[in-house]
């Protein structure tokens, strides 16, 4: 029973951090109607920025995160403005061009990281990296708890931003009807740029929170692209709440899979749930709430 | 106020507007009539800066807006309530209204204007926290007009506000349009509902196959033989 409790709690904590990354992808998908396959690579870059701050200047990852966020916001804005927007404006034979472009960006970011940091596995060793707290008979990793709570705080802040500010409302309006937003005076291309920036900054945050828990190497991006893609589908596309639910489900599935089946099969459990959802609940868990 | 001269517009290689000239004066209620595909909505989208004009000019309050970006045109006081309402379905009624008042002057008076809109449409106040997508067709149209009013428009452009509404609601919407106009807002109304709008307006234009074919006061057009035969079925 304790093992089960520990597994579930661990899954929820991990899922909260996954959710933050997936929310970034969901935001971008909602506004631009494209799947950003470079999202995981942006997580990876965010992790390296935080890692670099830790390695060179001894800045704790939880503080380094606040450097990584603006850097990634800036990179995200540049990618949107000078690369993706250019393709949006051009009449192309393939509407999938934008998605292909994100694959290209992913490859460039990954290989650039390999060039700078080599392919070595790296990790951040802080005083609390392997510390645990005990809850009854369950042991829970401290960085997971901290990461989960920071992720929830950021999710809440994002929610406030999207519902209370004009800029946030403009982002939601643009994702629901781009032309109607333009009629009302919203500069849609500026909004997409800011959205991409915010999405990338969230990716950096999620990545930095996971840094004390994961090994870091240039190809780790693929893992996060897959995870956030699965979470987005699980939750129902374009929904923040859906992304949170999807994140928690994926986190728990991986955790339960790792405990009760085997560590090597943990990703399989998540993928099986992903397939089942695609087959039997194509609108994601969000469609259940709408009924 | 709004002055369109010799406008040509095309979608890629297909020209849809030929030599369209149209004027709306301060305080007027002008109607643009025409069948489906006559080019009415295209004309409006050209005004709102969503399309590229190949020839001709559009002036608003003496300023050339022919090639201005769409979001800037809204800032000048031209508010376009598009065909099919185009609300933000997953935002609440209140949020939709707030989206109407993004520019500084309108934002400063946001609460004040919202009160006025709620006086026009009490039902919106009642449902202000409901998602826009859950409203009925008539309520959605009211919200779309209300959202337009939130921007404190100098010129309010309404594209087929009666589309898909029951006759009794159509009448109500036109009464509201008339009332908005009598409060000093200049209105350009695009309609297929010929008899009712001609009775309502100061002047009207008839558009056929991408050209303006007739113009005159509402009464003149009501008595025009061609309008009677083609649009009123008399």
Give the position of tokens 């749930």. A273
pLDDT at A168 over 80: yes
Give the position of tokens 């339960």. A256
Instruction: Quote the CA–CA distance of B64 and A99 in Å, as a whole number.
Output: 38
DSSP label of B61: T
Give B91→chain A minimum CA distance, Å: 8
Region A2-289: CATH code:
1.10.3470
pLDDT at A99 over 90: no
Going residue by residue through chain B, which has 234 residues, state the pLDDT in tens, using 9 for 90 and above. Answer: 899 999 999 888 889 999 999 999 999 999 999 888 889 999 999 998 888 888 999 999 989 998 888 888 888 889 989 888 899 998 999 999 999 998 888 899 999 999 999 998 999 999 999 999 999 888 999 999 999 999 999 999 999 988 888 888 888 889 889 999 998 899 999 988 888 889 889 999 999 999 999 999 988 998 988 888 888 877
pLDDT single digits (tens) A50-83: 999 999 998 999 999 999 999 999 999 999 999 9
The shortest CB-CB distance from B91 to any of A166, A172, A179 is to: A172
The shortest CB-CB distance from B50 to any of A166, A182, A186 is to: A182
pLDDT at A209 over 60: yes
Query: Given this model, what pLDDT does residue A238 score?
Result: 67
What is the value of pTM for the model shown? 0.87
Contact of B161 with B145, CB cutoff 8 Å:
yes
The shortest CB-CB distance from B71 to any of A173, A176, A186 is to: A186
Strand partners, B60: B2, B63
Query: Given this model, what pLDDT does residue A93 score?
Result: 66
The shortest CB-CB distance from B91 to any of A173, A182, A184 is to: A173
Candidates A30, A185, A286, A290: best to mutate against B (most CBs of B within 10 A) is: A185
A89 at B interface, C-beta within 8 A: no
- From chain B, the residues in CB contact with A181 under 8 A are 88, 99
Helix (H) or strand (E) holding B172: helix B167-182
Query: Given this model, what pLDDT does residue A264 score?
Result: 83
Query: Given this model, what pLDDT does residue B18 score?
Result: 92
Query: Given this model, what pLDDT does residue A95 score?
Result: 65
Instruction: Quote the CA–CA distance of A30 and A25 in Å, as a whole number.
Output: 9
Q: Is B70 close to A183, i.e. CB distance below 8 A?
A: yes
Structure confidence at residue A290 as a pLDDT band (50, 70, 90): low
Contact of A36 with A195, CB cutoff 8 Å:
no
B68 at A interface, C-beta within 8 A: no
Query: Given this model, what pLDDT does residue A92 score?
Result: 65
Give A69→chain B minimum CA distance, Å: 28
pLDDT at A254 over 70: yes
Helix (H) or strand (E) holding B45: helix B40-47
Domain ranges across chain A: 2-289
pLDDT at A291 over 60: no
């Amino acid at each position: 029973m304790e093992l089960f409790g520990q597994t579930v709690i661990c899954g929820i904590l991990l899922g909260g951090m996954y959710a933050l990354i997936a929310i970034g992808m969901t935001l971008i998908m909602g506004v631009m109607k494209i799947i950003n396959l470079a999202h995981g690579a942006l997580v990876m870059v965010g992790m390296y920025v935080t890692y670099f701050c830790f390695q060179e200047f001894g800045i704790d990852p939880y503080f380094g995160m606040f450097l990584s966020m603006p850097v990634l916001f800036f990179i995200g804005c540049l990618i949107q403005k000078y690369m993706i927007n250019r393709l949006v404006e051009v009449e192309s034979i393939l509407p999938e061009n934008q998605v292909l472009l994100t694959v290209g960006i992913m490859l460039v970011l990954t290989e650039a990281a390999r060039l700078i940091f080599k392919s070595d596995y790296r990790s951040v060793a802080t005083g609390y990296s392997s510390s645990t707290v005990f809850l009854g008979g369950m042991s829970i990793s401290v960085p997971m708890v901290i990461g989960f709570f920071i992720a929830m705080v950021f999710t809440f802040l994002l929610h406030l931003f999207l519902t209370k500010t004009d800029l946030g409302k403009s982002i939601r309006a643009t994702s629901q009807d781009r032309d109607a937003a333009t009629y009302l005076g919203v500069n849609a291309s500026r909004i997409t740029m800011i959205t991409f920036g915010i999405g990338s900054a969230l990716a950096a945050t999620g990545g930095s929170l996971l840094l004390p828990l994961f090994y870091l190497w240039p190809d780790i991006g693929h893992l996060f692209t897959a995870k956030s893609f699965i979470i987005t589908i699980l939750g129902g596309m374009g929904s923040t709440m859906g992304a949170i639910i999807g994140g928690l489900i994926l986190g728990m599935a991986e955790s339960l899979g790792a405990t009760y089946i085997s560590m090597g099969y943990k990703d399989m459990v998540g993928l099986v749930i992903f397939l089942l959802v695609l087959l039997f609940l194509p609108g994601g868990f969000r469609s259940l709430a709408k009924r | 106020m709004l002055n369109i001269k010799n406008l040509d517009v095309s979608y890629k290689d297909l020209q849809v507007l030929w030599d369209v000239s149209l004027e709306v004066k301060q305080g007027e209620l002008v109607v643009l009539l025409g069948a489906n595909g006559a080019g009415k909505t295209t004309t409006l989208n050209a005004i709102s800066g969503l399309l590229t004009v190949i020839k001709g000019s559009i002036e608003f309050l003496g300023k050339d807006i022919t090639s201005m970006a769409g979001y800037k045109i809204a800032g000048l006081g031209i508010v376009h309530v598009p065909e099919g309402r185009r609300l933000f379905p997953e935002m609440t009624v209140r949020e939709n209204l707030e989206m109407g008042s993004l520019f500084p002057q309108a934002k400063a008076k946001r609460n004040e204007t919202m009160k006025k809109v709620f006086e026009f449409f009490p039902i919106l106040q009642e449902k202000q926290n409901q998602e826009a997508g859950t409203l009925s067709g008539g309520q959605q149209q009211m919200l779309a007009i209300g959202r337009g009013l939130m921007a404190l428009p100098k010129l309010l452009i309404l594209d087929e506000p009666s589309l898909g509404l029951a006759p009794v609601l159509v009448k109500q919407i036109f009464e509201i349009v008339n009332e908005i106009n009598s409060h000093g807002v200049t209105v350009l109304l695009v309609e297929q509902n010929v008899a009712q709008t001609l009775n309502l307006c100061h002047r009207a234009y008839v558009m056929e196959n991408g050209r303006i074919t007739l113009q005159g006061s509402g009464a003149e057009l009501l008595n025009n033989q061609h309008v009677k035969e083609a649009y009123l079925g008399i």
